[in-house]
Amino acid sequence: MPYIVKDKILFLAEASKILSSTIDYNVTLAIISKLIVTSIADFCIIDIFEGHKLKRLAVNVSDPKKQQLAHKVFRFMPDPRNKEAIYDAAKLGAPIIIPKATKQWLSSVSKIKEERETIEKLGLNSHMFVPLKSGGEVIGVLTIASMDKNFSYTQDDAVFIEELALRAGAAVDKARLYKEAQEALYTRDEFLSIASHELKTPLTSILLNLQGMLNKIHKSNSKNPEIKETVRLIEISKRQTHRMARLINDLLNVSVVSTGKLKIEKEKFDLVTLINDVVMSFRTRLTNEKIDVKIQSSEKEIIGNWDYVRIEQVISNLLSNAIKYGKKKTITISSGKNNSYAIFKVKDQGIGISEKDQEYIFERFKRVVSDNEYSGLGVGLYIANQIIKAHKGRLTVKSQVGKGSTFIVELPFK
Ligand code: ADP
């Protein structure tokens, strides 16, 4: 193979283009090794730092017949205790050229006989060890080698390969950061899932105990004013515990949706009845806050096959938001259908949402109100939207600042 790249600038431009085509860590490493063995070398290894140690992540060879042999090299991780040029290049921060792989050099490369034999069998001659850098820091080392007995890498080649290594280093670092960010997100969702599960258990027991205390006090029929005050305090604790349970449930739902574990279990039910039932469950709160909810439907019943619990959750979420952001004005929940969809709308006359903000409100943890004025986690609409999407339906909003908002849910019958 001629280790000559005719138009180096064009080659580097092409390399940059190919490297920017992916953000996947393993694909990036594979692209780099492939670029090298189809241009300037017969053999290539990529070692990347994990902490202070280099980890072998990619190996490639130009001769398909030597693939198996090349993959053996994976087993031999570079050892900082050996006199290996790989670690020297990393320390130096500049390429190291071995013009010829002499017997003497080979014996100094590794203490492992099998490794030396593999290199010999591969027929590797001239080597170059090039540090991979990103933001001025060495993040790994690129090892390249030729199989031509009469060829030696030169200083000119080193300048060119350093240029390629610069682009490769930046691409590897970008892909690595992306991979780490994805892993961190996954860990966070897993943690949320476990934490919210664990928190639910003691909370259920607290609620049961509070209810038990209330029952005992009511049975004792005491007129003592101290007892009256105790009942008031227990009622407050119960409300706060319920609120905490709702927040924990929201967190649990976020982790279920984000980790792709949302399961839709369909059953046949009437949407009109469900809307009435959900509003009923809010009665105490609506009466306390003096808010009127009107229920309208063009149909007597709207029977469909959907996930009962999840649709109940969506209606509750939308109604709860209408109460929270509706400035205590009348809320209207209307429903209807056409041939393909059931439709229901939750309309309030509250603060409204600007057109720009309407783009964000369905995203996870996104809130467009001040935390001081309105409390919340910013997950209700995200979960509702994911539930409706899982039903192949649509959740949209029409709103004007200061005039109110209407959330529209379209649920397909099939
Ligand atoms: P939360 O209400 O806990 O913040 P949601 O995901 O339910 O979370 O809503 C996201 C954001 O959308 C809210 O913070 C609020 O800014 C806006 N929003 C939702 N519903 C309404 C509504 N009915 N009227 C005005 N703004 C709303």
Angle at 56 between CA 175 and CA 178, to 5 degrees: 15
Q: Give the burial class of 184: count Cβ atoms within 10 A of its Cβ; 0-12 exposed, 13-18 middle, 19 or more buried.
A: exposed
The answer on pLDDT for 320 being more than 90 is yes
Nearest-atom number in ligand 1 for the CA of 378 is: 8
Q: Whose CA is nearest to atom 12 of ligand 1?
A: 361
Nearest-atom number in ligand 1 for the CA of 376 is: 3
How many angstroms separate the alpha carbon of residue 48 from the centre of ligand 1? 45
Residue 359: count of CB within 10 angstroms of its CB: 12
How many angstroms separate the alpha carbon of residue 139 from the centre of ligand 1? 44
Residue 392: count of CB within 10 angstroms of its CB: 11
Write out the H or E segment, with its range, that includes residue 72: helix 67-72
Residue with tokens 């929270």: 324
pLDDT tens digits along 171-228: 888 898 999 998 998 888 888 888 888 888 899 999 999 999 999 998 988 788 888 8
Lowest-pLDDT range, 106-110, 210-214, 305-309, 312-316? 106-110
Strands (E) in 65-211, as ranges, are 96-98, 127-134, 137-145
**Test site for ligand 1: of 381, 406, 409, most ligand atoms within 8 A of the Cβ:** 381
Stronger pLDDT, 258 or 182, i.e. the higher one: 182
247/242 Cα distance (integer angstroms)? 9
204/86 Cα distance (integer angstroms)? 59
Residue with tokens 């949402």: 353
**Test site for ligand 1: of 246, 293, 325, most ligand atoms within 8 A of the Cβ:** 325
Q: Whose CA is nearest to atom 11 of ligand 1?
A: 367
How many angstroms separate the alpha carbon of residue 106 from the centre of ligand 1? 67
How many angstroms separate the alpha carbon of residue 304 from the centre of ligand 1? 28
Please indicate, yes or no, whether the overall pTM of this predicted structure exceeds 0.95: no
How many angstroms separate the alpha carbon of residue 322 from the centre of ligand 1? 9
How many angstroms separate the alpha carbon of residue 65 from the centre of ligand 1? 62
pLDDT tens digits along 326-384: 999 999 999 999 999 999 999 999 999 999 999 999 998 889 888 888 888 899 999 99
Token pair for 125 = 């001659």
Residue 88: count of CB within 10 angstroms of its CB: 15
126 with 101: CB under 8 angstroms? yes
pLDDT at 82: 61
How many angstroms separate the alpha carbon of residue 299 from the centre of ligand 1? 29
Ligand 1 neighbours by CB, cut-off 6 Å: 321-322, 325, 348, 350-353, 361, 367-369, 376-382, 405
How many angstroms separate the alpha carbon of residue 358 from the centre of ligand 1? 10
**Test site for ligand 1: of 257, 367, 373, most ligand atoms within 8 A of the Cβ:** 367
